[in-house]
Structure 1
């Protein structure tokens, strides 16, 4: 059978039991794909009372009414699949009025030029139809069981879409209301083939009048994804040239839509969050087989990558989901925003002109109220991982609670470098060796010699500046500096000593800045 689920007029005519009658289609040869639900033998002049639609009507024409056009009209009105007229008992040739009546109403009319036993026809075709219906029921049960099991164990949208592809062999895409491809499985088709120019192709494919339908220039099968009247998106099944859509495809797509809806209601993260995160990781970790496929993936999410430059930004915030949604809305079409866990909220900015990333990055810092850590600007997707590595380096070097601004590798000085190394035991040991005696003295005597030393070193050994910044008289300052020299056993007039102590104090401050607050 053509679709594996229904029996068509063309198929029953090809069965040996009817082929022996030398069937000839005399009206509507182009409608032989109509499904046959049952076979009915009738010689009544008004057969509609015994018909319910979808029947293949077998007749010799003995009971035809005087007006043959009326007979054709009744057959068409009840929705019969086709009429098979056996010649010989009443008609030696098929009446032209009958042919014209059926042709005008789009119902196939077939004549048998040799007699057959109608009882043999009905027995064989009913067996065929019932077998088809059993297969259809079994297929429906299999689809039901599959998606019920997925929902019961909390499968996400990705697993549901993959199951739909596995059951049909067709590519399936879940898109949101702005025609962005969020979740997809391509089956045997290439990713670029499926997602290339996704948004314009999707916009050219209208939603069906009912829940599910085939439409658009490519003949996509589309079903709505909705809950209580609120539409969230669409599930799309793409056709293949040699495999027309079947009733099972519709069933699979609709059941998949139901499972996807349940996943959205019960699971986190949201579809958009997961899609952006996955696409961002695809770029950072080179997870797609080719860069053209990666570009197609980004473009299908509304971020064109062809002819663009890129920079990776990292933002360390508590509620990454809320900020991600805000940034995606504000920078739609230019930014891929994904939660990278401990690394922070990752942003891949795409732009045309060199340096054009800074204004949106500064706007993000203002919008989020946190530091934005920027990697290097790169000209190819293949270099984005380098930009991300540099953004990680900046994020690890810039202490928390700095003013909201954009920070790059150029902003990483000695304090930032030592902050990034604050957990290194060697750095910790160095600071302890240089300052332990001073810290012990402050703790024992309630002094703040460390604070005086910090101010003195920041003033590059200028005593006047140190006294002014520390609100001390010069005499008091001199006394403190002499005491610091005694405690440390060091000469503060030595540039080398001041350099060692400056590194140690900066390292100590970095370690303290990195401690979690209670």
Structure 2
């Protein structure tokens, strides 16, 4: 009983139940051990609900008046009461002593009887009862080292059980990975082993698969997918912890981990909260992350091979040889889109090309074909049925890319539609408009194509006399000239549109002619001025 050796055992996460294994020791575990013969002195009803379930992570003995510098949360302090001396019945000393222990997070206090004192001081019992700290008596025949060894043994047994559990789980997960749909089987086995929801969000930001299916409802699922998409957009390897469904009565703590290398993320693995996610559980999750990453990388290699095939078929389609492309596409993905079709062109920057490709593969699968795409150098070219034109807006919004869309064409018009889409995507880049349809440009006529970088420089120089005069004198020559040309050179209609007198319009146009050094009464001069105005618009 006089053995007060400083004894320590390692800390460990919250207790769990493992079939066929002991559990992490708690205060209740120690009290229930008949070989220790410990007696709880304060009524259990007076203690906080979790007091006796607090995990014991350390056993330490000390008779110091203030042992807290040597203690930490979850420790059990064992004492013979030497520090109380003649003041054992002083309520103030006992209250302060217990308050220090509670503030430090001590799990329980054990008082060794028949060594210094015949029993536990009543002032100490009262202080522990009031402050909710479990207090038990240790009989003379039970040395403190026996309690410390019990804690250490239980932790060691639990550690061995966790190690055995982790090996068994990793073996089962490895076998699951060998099944035909190895990725789904792997996630299902992980979910079963840790007793939590597991989901895979693919590179497109969509929930690809989950286990158990439908177990995570809204709004938690939407929040998880939203956070995963944010991580994918950043393009960097990362992990996040998210409290999903905070607005509900049952929020869930979720852990999200990216899959793949930085700059080429393949998806995000989301895992619900589980008591099994201690060190052993995290090792199992790490093995799943590695297996899932490997499976997705293998899929990536297949995607690249399919991408090369698509690019080859696209070249054939643009060259007018659709027969071979039709046969191959039908066998691989489904029939080509039915005419009339539109051609869409968008940029394919290296940062987004994998996610773009995966999203489009998903859309192809959803449509059973009826959608075709291929890479053409640094661009993606899509063949869309009329019902699928909304996909262009989806790409522009999700990836912040310019997209050009052609007019609808028949079987022999794909090459022409491709040219239209190229012109439209050029306009989308310049204007930052997201999606630009070719018919938006064609309605303005051939001069609309002059709104390009090279023409813009010439146009700015042409219009400089008018813009400089407007800036220096507060006039509106440019606005007047544009409105006048829009109204076919009619002074009355222009005056009405601008809300000024027709003589004002005449004088402004006359001034513009002098500044430009040209007569605007002829068609060619007006057309040139209109082209310049279009190029800077």
Taking structure 2 as the reference length, the TM-score comes to 0.43
- TM-score, normalization: structure 1? 0.44
